[in-house]
Structure 1
């Protein structure tokens, strides 16, 4: 009977997996909405009399409107979870008229901040004769630093990654127009690597977590480590592995190497699973997991016992909710539905209203059931544990196959030599 239940669970997970993969392929490859760029230009320039596509390596147009000439150029950069495409309109004096978003699939609660705080208006009137820097974004490529220039935009607090992607996309576009029509070349600062204190901190955290995984002595200091992780990863670094990040990898929405922090946290979570067969991120690095465990230990309440039957049912919650988020994202054409994790609410104090309702529930139950959210609802934990199990099973099968093959060869040689 027990075997039958396990088989039913396996079949259920297989159905979720294959239908989700089919939905993602369909959503990414077949439901993308084509952008009518000339219509978008006419919408923003009512007096347009002609639009001529410019032949070249980038999508660009010459525009005549109200007796004046303009240039429109499209380029993109990877943001928090998607590629953001920007159409930059430039007048014949080499000044930006406006920056228009043509494609994006960022988390709505963060990207809307760019509109509400009028981030795009900051580009108006900036020159293409030098780079457009990003103010207030220490450690990001294109950072203004102490340059004596007025050609910059200020990043929007809490949406720095999206702000950076927009500024990078605008720069790529203006550099193209500057070189083609204004005989102006400059070195793009968004191509420069930036190794900041947060990235270095993440590297140290992952290395210490790796050491703790293989050292039982460090377990004695776990309560202090949890506090460090909450403060450092949660409130200082503010970087988390989310379902959006993992989905971005699947859809190849991968930032350039100038975003070193993204590569550190992905290598530390996925890379350690592949190399060592250990889900180090969930156990030692995730700040929300650390917060739940610390509160559970600090409260000291008697743990609520959950029967094995209920536990088995609850274990299906994470893959089921993840599947629903993927299917809904495919249906509406926006995979922002994957952003249902509590990290932004707990550490950044920004989230959709549903998460504000759920966060107190997760925190309260974690006082009685250690890492309640992690055990039963976290999509990242489910995916990393699944990958870890598949990796270890694959290594075990490989070792068994190799040993049988080696033993067979050795025995055959022994018999040959003996005869």
Structure 2
């Protein structure tokens, strides 16, 4: 009977995996956001008489209208969880007439802030003959800093990553038109590689987790390391692996190397699994896991008497919720449904009302059950642990095959 139950759970997870993969493939290859650039230009420039494509590597157009000649160009940059494509409409003097979002798949609650605070309007009137810098974004490429120029926009607080991606995409398109049409060129500050204290802090946290594998004494101060993770990664840097980021990685929505924090976060957490066969991110680094574990230790309550049978069933909750999010995202054409994790609510104080209702439940339950959310709801923990098991099983199988081949060779 026990074996039969295991088989049923296996087939259940297999069904979820196959249908979710099918939904992702369908979304990527058959339901992509197709944009009619010429129609978009005609909608946003009055009295258009002709739209001609400019020969080159990017979608760029020369537009004749009753009000004069305009140019339009599209380029993109990776934001928080998706690639954001922007169209810049430029007048014949080289000034930005308007910028438009053509494609994006960001978390709605964060991206809507750009519309509400009229971020896109702040580009109007700026010149493409020099970079458009980003004010208030210390530590990000393209930061205004002490540059003496009026050619800048201010980032939107709470949506800095999306603000930065929009500015980066607009600059890339503007630089292309600047070279092609206006015979001017400038060094794009969004392409400059830099290492900030936030990057260094993340690297140090990952190195400490790595050292914990080899230096057993570090386990004694693991609680203090978790507290540092809460403060540094959670509240100061606001960087955590989410289902959205993992999905963007599947879609190959990979930012440039200038976004060093992304590479430390993703390559580091996955690297632990691939090279060490250990999910160190969840155990040593994740700030929300650290919050739950700290609360559990501070409370000191006895764990709830939940039977192993019930626990085993509860372990099916994370893949089930993740599957529902994927299916809904495919049906709606927007994978903002993957944003059901409580990180934004706790560390950024921004979330949907459902997450605000669930956050206190997760924190309360963690008083009685260590890492309650991690064990029974977290999609990242489920995916990472699953990959880790596959990796270790594959290594064991390969070693067995190698040893058999080696023994046969020695015998023969």
Q: TM-score, normalised by structure 2?
A: 0.98
1:138 corresponds to 2:138: yes
Q: Tell me the CA shift for residue 66 of structure 1.
A: 2.4
Give distance in 2, aligned partners of 1:400 and 1:160. Answer: 50
Q: CA deviation at 1:159?
A: 1.1
Runs (5+) with no aligned partner, structure 2 = none
Matches within 5 A, 1:3-402: 3-402=3-402
Q: CA deviation at 1:233?
A: 1.1
1:106-140 Cα deviation digits (max 9, x unpaired):
00011011111111111111111111111111221
How far does the alpha carbon of each residue in 1:254-296 deviate from its partner, in whole angstroms, 9 at most, with x for none? 1111111000011221011000000000000000000000001
Contact 2:33 2:103 in 1 (8 A): no
Task: Name the CA distance, whole Å, in 1 between partners of 2:224 and 2:207.
Answer: 17
Q: Distance in 1 between matches of 2:67 and 2:372?
A: 65
SS of corresponding position for 1:326: helix
Which whole-Å CA distance do the structure 1 matches of 2:330 and 2:135 have between them? 36
Q: Compute the displacement of 1:48 (Å).
A: 1.7
The 2-side partners of 1:269 and 1:313 are apart by: 27
Deviations 1:208-241 (A, max 9, x none): 0111233332222222222111111111121000
| 1:275 counterpart SS class | helix
Q: Secondary structure at the match of 1:125?
A: coil
Unaligned runs of 5+ in 1: 413-419
Cα distance in 2 for partners of 1:267, 1:74 equals 29
CA distance in 1, matches of 2:276, 2:67: 65
Which deviates further from its counterpart, 256-265 or 151-160?
A: 151-160
Deviation at 1:64, TM superposition (A): 1.9
Q: Which stretch of structure 1 is more off in the superposition, 228-237 or 365-374?
A: 228-237
Runs of 4+ in structure 1 off by over 4 angstroms are: none
Taking the aligned partners of 2:13 and 2:232, their CA distance within structure 1 comes to 35
> How large is the RMSD of aligned CA atoms in angstroms?
1.0
Asked if the contact 2:156/2:163 (under 8 Å) is kept, the reply is yes
In the alignment, the residues of structure 2 paired with residue 49 and residue 320 of structure 1 have an alpha-carbon distance, to the nearest angstrom, of 53
Deviation of the 1:21 alpha carbon: 0.5
Question: What SS is found at the alignment partner of 1:114?
Answer: helix
Separation of aligned partners in 1, 2:223 and 2:264 = 25
Instruction: Count how many residue pairs are aligned between Structure 1 and Structure 2.
Output: 412
CA distance in 2, matches of 1:56, 1:316: 51
- CA–CA distance in structure 2, aligned partners of residues 315 and 393 of structure 1: 20
Range that drifts further, 44-53 or 75-84: 44-53
Per the alignment, in what secondary structure is the counterpart of residue 69 of structure 1? strand
Secondary structure of the equivalent of 1:235? helix
